[in-house]
Amino acid sequence: MRWYDSHARDLPWRVSPQARADGAHPDPYRIWLSEVMLQQTTVAAVRAYYHRFTTLWPTVGDLAAAPDAEVMGEWAGLGYYARARNLLKCARVVTDTHGGMFPQTRDGLMQLPGIGPYTAAAIAAIAFERPEVVVDGNVERVMARLFDIHSPLPAAKPELTRAAADLTPDDRPGDYAQGVMDLGATVCTPRSPACGICPWMDVCAARAASTAAELPRKTPKKAKPTRFGHAYVARRIDGAYLLEERPAKGLLGGMLGWPGSDWNEDPAPAPPLPADWHMIDAEARHTFTHFHLRLRVLVADVGQDAVPETGTFHPIHSFRPAHLPTVMRKVFDLARSEFDNA
Ligand code: SF4
């Protein structure tokens, strides 16, 4: 804790140890928002989104009242879009059912949409000072090294969690959780741990055994398969683009996208409207958690009276490419340069 008091990272959602000692309290809304954004995502990627969300919606009630499309649009590019849908659901449950106050316990938090065991423990510890065991990838690495645990992940998770639980204090559990995360992020880093400046250097078993750099061990992951698909980009003569809202369930659920295939088939599906479609000589490539995707892109200029079988035309003044998920933005970038060069 002495190390954390002088080395805590300066994060926009965090109350510094000094401010906390002076009586400041973290805002549970901001802790929750940051923890949801940080799921599978780096601090560097989250900062700008967190700033925009808290500027647009400073309280959980403000977020609960926001239109779905606006929130989904602001989330675009951050990935794992089920998080955005659950974020809204959760904000509305907290506002409508809990009077705008987050539950303070891990079990209470886990009743809310989009909050699993890790996120519930993190919010309970950081926002409400509950002595919960918070174990993310950083903490797993530090525990594996501190106790020189060689069992491979993910099977080693329970063992690493037990080690973390043994160390979690009743006093300042939130700062402790953040301290171990910071240690993993800044000192006990994956490739070259800086043992020489580590507050645990004298007691670290992996340092003593010179095994730190090879820990934690991991069971090799299976190679990701590649899926293929097609995307149709139609531009109307007034500059409007044809987009469709993807089904609420499934990958990119609820986000705007280009009409096309469901990424399971090779032959091009029927276009969303008859036109002189032209296939671009380049693919939009994107990697999701479980597969690589390669999309062939077809473009067409269509008349003002074009009637699509699927989707709606979005006028140029209201179409914001930044509100598209990353893979759809890649498609748009290819289509736009094709239109520009035509
Ligand atoms: Fe990590 Fe080295 Fe510290 Fe051990 S001494 S916890 S390996 S940085």
Per-residue model confidence as pLDDT tens digits over 123-174: 999 999 999 999 999 999 999 999 999 999 999 999 999 999 999 999 999 9
Amino acid at 336: R
Q: What tokens does 85 get?
A: 């849908």
User: In this structure, what is the dihedral angle of CA atoms 153, 157, 159, 164, given to the nearest 10 degrees?
Assistant: 120
Question: What is the 193 CA–ligand 1 centroid distance (Å)?
Answer: 6
Share of the chain above pLDDT 90, in %: 89
**pLDDT category, 254, cuts 50, 70, 90?**
confident
Mutate to test the pocket of ligand 1, among 201, 203, 214, 215 (most ligand atoms within 8 A of CB): 201
Q: What tokens does 325 get?
A: 């998920």
**pLDDT category, 251, cuts 50, 70, 90?**
confident
**pLDDT category, 13, cuts 50, 70, 90?**
very high
CA distance 121 to 127: 10
CA distance 125 to 202: 27
Backbone angles phi, psi at 37, to 5 degrees: -65, -35
Provide the phi-psi class of 248: left if phi over 0, else alpha when psi is between -120 and 50, else beta: alpha
Looking at residue 266, its pLDDT comes to 67
pLDDT (tens digit per residue) in 197-247: 999 999 999 999 999 999 999 999 889 999 999 999 999 999 999 999 988
Which residue has the least CA distance to atom 2 on ligand 1? 195
Spell 233-261 as b/e; 16+ CB within 10 A means b: bbbbeeebbbbbebeeeebbebbbbbbbb
Q: Are strands 241-245 and 292-302 parallel, antiparallel or unpaired?
A: unpaired
CA distance 4 to 133: 17
Amino acid at 303: G
Instruction: Give the helix/strand (H/E) hosting 97.
Output: helix 82-97
CA distance 76 to 83: 11
Which atom of ligand 1 is found nearest the CA of 201?
Answer: 5
Question: What is the 212 CA–ligand 1 centroid distance (Å)?
Answer: 7
Asked whether 242 and 299 are in contact (CB, 8 A), the reply is no
pLDDT at 40 over 70: yes
Looking at residue 107, its pLDDT comes to 97
Looking at residue 222, its pLDDT comes to 87
More confident residue, 318 or 178: 178
Which residue has the least CA distance to atom 1 on ligand 1? 188
Catalytic positions: 35
CA distance 298 to 308: 15
Q: Ligand 1 — pocket residues by CB below 6 A?
A: 142, 145-146, 187-188, 193-195, 198, 200-201, 204, 206-207, 212
pLDDT at 265 over 70: no
**pLDDT category, 57, cuts 50, 70, 90?**
very high
Which atom of ligand 1 is found nearest the CA of 187?
Answer: 8
**pLDDT category, 19, cuts 50, 70, 90?**
very high
- H helix runs in 269-342, sequence order: 326-341
